[in-house]
């Protein structure tokens, strides 16, 4: 059986034809989102698991992005909805400019800041960025962003009752004409015809139209997924008012997760319900311009785009780790919804217990969090967004308790974040972010490593300075100085070592 990772002779080049074609013949859903199939005889592009008859080899080609297929004149297959797939793990595994650009494009940076803003975040000129993306991915930043807008538009068309003019501008299009032309080019249908399809079975979304002011989504991922581990992590680190794990006997897995998400145009609430083969998400109080960013950030929080099979094949090759992998398949690396929040919360967790850290975080949220007064809460608990770096810099000293040196460090980092002297985001190179963080007073190697792992999605961070990881390694007789054979999946090895130690203490993980 093929592994679930696509080999490339050169980073960013077209995938190996024979390997991709075997995946298409097997209709292997693990490859959905890792590459797309263009079919010359029909003029469409598909996901590898498309249920249609497998085309002959001489009629197909393989591209890394939907935008590349669209640039070549192909339209999306209506049967398999190739835009409704997990994202490519290449954007986290690779650290090159193309991969980092794709993370930011998925977050809607081009719609908000233009190509110049995207280039500035990556610290390259727009001309060089366009050349590299075109060479590596078959499409420039505008075409890649156009594909992103088309997916957002399809979701809004099929999952809301918004007027088409509102859909167009919420999805990021500059005009109604641009919106209409793009939908026809990508899907081969007018927007109105695309909306009529919502009553048919749609593998990516709920069959029902969302309530006014909200969007109901169905987010795919590559199985397996160890939900007990993610539930433990979310519950153990939940900040009162910002997030909560809810026991729900009617939910498929017995629980849900509710979280306030800070977004570019204002906070929203995400109600997340895990399933065995997808994640149900209801986004409410959402400025529709933030749909793409909200979906992208939820996916990153839950690590839904991981190539988990490839990671576990490499780690299970080590006899010491094999029992851990076989005993808990599908462990994910929790990501970050907001880099500044992740940094502050991680700093408050340095050298203190989890309970002590949550106490400090709860104090910050209670005093400085922004309440969502129109949230519709009926139980007296008004949801709050985590306080901004600027709010913590201005008033955090009066709220935080503990050693003065630690408070000074947190306030100093909040000031640096508020003044943009350090700019953590999903598109920054992992080594650059780690170096920026280490330069800030009060941030040591442990904090820098875990923030880098969660913010950038780097799959190859080993938390050698973590006490739990060190104790787990000692239990197993693992030398953390000799783990090169785990690369590039050492972040997942870290999660398995964490879980091993926590499970030994009786935690349900």
Q: How many CA atoms lie within 13 A of 466 on its CB side?
A: 23
Among all residues, which ones are annotated catalytic? 46, 466
The confidence score (pLDDT) of residue 376 equals 53
Backbone angles phi and psi of 221, in degrees to 5? -150, 170
- Using CB atoms within 10 Å of the CB of residue 495, give its burial: 0 to 12 exposed, 13 to 18 middle, 19+ buried: buried
The number of angstroms, rounded, from the C-alpha of 122 to the middle of its chain's C-alpha atoms is: 19
Q: Does the structure show a pLDDT above 80 at 373?
A: no
Beta-bridge partners for 69: none
- The CB density around residue 117, as the number of other CB atoms within 10 Å, is 15
pLDDT in tens, 468-506: 999 999 999 999 999 999 999 999 999 999 999 999 888
Tokens read off for 444: 């040591």
Report how far residue 119's alpha carbon sits from residue 340's, in angstroms, rounded to the nearest whole number.
21
Q: Does the structure show a pLDDT above 70 at 5?
A: no
245 pLDDT tier (thresholds 50, 70, 90) = very high
The confidence score (pLDDT) of residue 382 equals 80
The confidence score (pLDDT) of residue 357 equals 92
Task: Report the chain's mean pLDDT, rounded to a whole number.
Answer: 91
The confidence score (pLDDT) of residue 267 equals 95
The confidence score (pLDDT) of residue 205 equals 44
Q: Does the structure show a pLDDT above 90 at 210?
A: no
pTM value is 0.92
- Collapsed DSSP state (helix, strand, coil) of residue 394: helix
The confidence score (pLDDT) of residue 377 equals 52
SS3 annotation, 276-324: CCEEEEEEECCCHHHHHHHHHHHHHHHCCCCCHHHHHHHHHCCCCCHHH
177 pLDDT tier (thresholds 50, 70, 90) = very high
Q: Does the structure show a pLDDT above 80 at 95?
A: no
Greater pLDDT, 66 or 352: 66
**Residues 107-117, mean pLDDT to the nearest whole number:** 95
**Residues 318-337, mean pLDDT to the nearest whole number:** 97
Q: Does the structure show a pLDDT above 60 at 198?
A: yes
Sole residue written with tokens 């979280």? 259
pLDDT in tens, 8-22: 443 334 568 999 999
Percent with pLDDT over 70 in the chain: 92
Q: What share of the chain is helix, strand, coil (3-state, %, to 5)?
A: 50, 10, 40
């Amino acid at each position: 059986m093929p592994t679930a990772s696509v080999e490339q002779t050169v980073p960013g080049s077209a995938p190996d034809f024979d390997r991709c074609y075997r995946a298409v013949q097997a209709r292997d859903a693990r490859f959905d989102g890792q590459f797309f199939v263009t079919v010359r005889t029909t003029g469409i592009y598909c996901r590898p698991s498309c249920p249609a008859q497998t085309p002959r080899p001489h009629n197909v080609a393989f591209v890394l992005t939907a935008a590349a297929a669209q640039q070549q004149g192909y339209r999306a297959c209506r049967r398999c909805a190739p835009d409704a797939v997990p994202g490519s793990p290449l954007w986290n595994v690779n650290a090159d400019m193309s991969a980092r650009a794709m993370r930011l494009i998925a977050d809607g940076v081009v719609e908000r800041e233009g190509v110049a803003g995207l280039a500035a975040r990556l610290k390259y000129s727009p001309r060089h960025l366009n050349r590299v993306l075109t060479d590596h991915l078959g499409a420039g930043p505008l075409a890649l962003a156009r594909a992103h807008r088309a997916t957002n538009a399809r979701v809004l068309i099929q999952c809301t009752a918004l007027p088409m003019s509102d859909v167009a501008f919420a999805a990021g299009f500059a005009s109604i004409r641009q919106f209409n032309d793009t939908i026809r080019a990508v899907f081969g249908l007018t927007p109105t015809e695309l909306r009529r399809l919502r009553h048919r079975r749609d593998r990516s979304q709920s069959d029902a139209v969302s309530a006014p002011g909200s969007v109901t989504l169905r987010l795919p991922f590559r199985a397996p997924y160890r939900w007990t581990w993610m539930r433990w992590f979310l519950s153990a680190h939940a900040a009162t008012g910002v997030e909560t794990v809810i026991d729900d006997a009617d939910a498929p897995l017995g629980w849900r997760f509710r979280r306030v998400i800070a977004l570019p145009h204002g906070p929203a609430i995400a109600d997340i319900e895990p399933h065995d083969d997808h994640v149900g998400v209801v986004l409410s109080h959402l400025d529709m311009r933030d749909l793409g960013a909200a979906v992208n950030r939820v996916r990153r929080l839950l690590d839904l785009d991981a190539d988990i099979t490839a990671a576990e094949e490499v780690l299970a090759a080590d006899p010491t780790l094999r029992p851990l992998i076989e005993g808990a398949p599908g462990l994910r690396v929790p990501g970050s919804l907001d880099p500044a929040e992740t940094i502050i919360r991680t700093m408050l967790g340095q050298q203190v217990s989890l309970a002590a850290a949550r106490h400090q975080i709860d104090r910050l949220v209670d005093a400085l969090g922004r309440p969502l007064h129109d949230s519709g809460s009926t139980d007296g608990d008004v949801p709050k967004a985590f306080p901004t770096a600027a709010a913590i810099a201005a008033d955090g000293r009066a709220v935080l308790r503990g050693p003065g040196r630690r408070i000074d460090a947190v306030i100093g980092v909040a000031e640096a974040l508020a003044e943009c002297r350090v700019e953590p985001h999903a598109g920054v190179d992992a080594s650059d972010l780690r170096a920026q963080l280490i330069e800030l007073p009060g941030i040591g190697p442990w904090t820098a490593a875990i923030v880098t792992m969660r913010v950038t999605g780097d799959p190859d961070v080993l938390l050698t300075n973590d006490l739990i990881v060190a104790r787990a390694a000692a239990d197993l007789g693992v030398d953390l100085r000799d783990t090169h054979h785990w690369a590039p999946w050492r972040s997942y090895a870290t999660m398995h070592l964490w879980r091993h130690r926590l499970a030994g203490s009786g935690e349900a993980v």
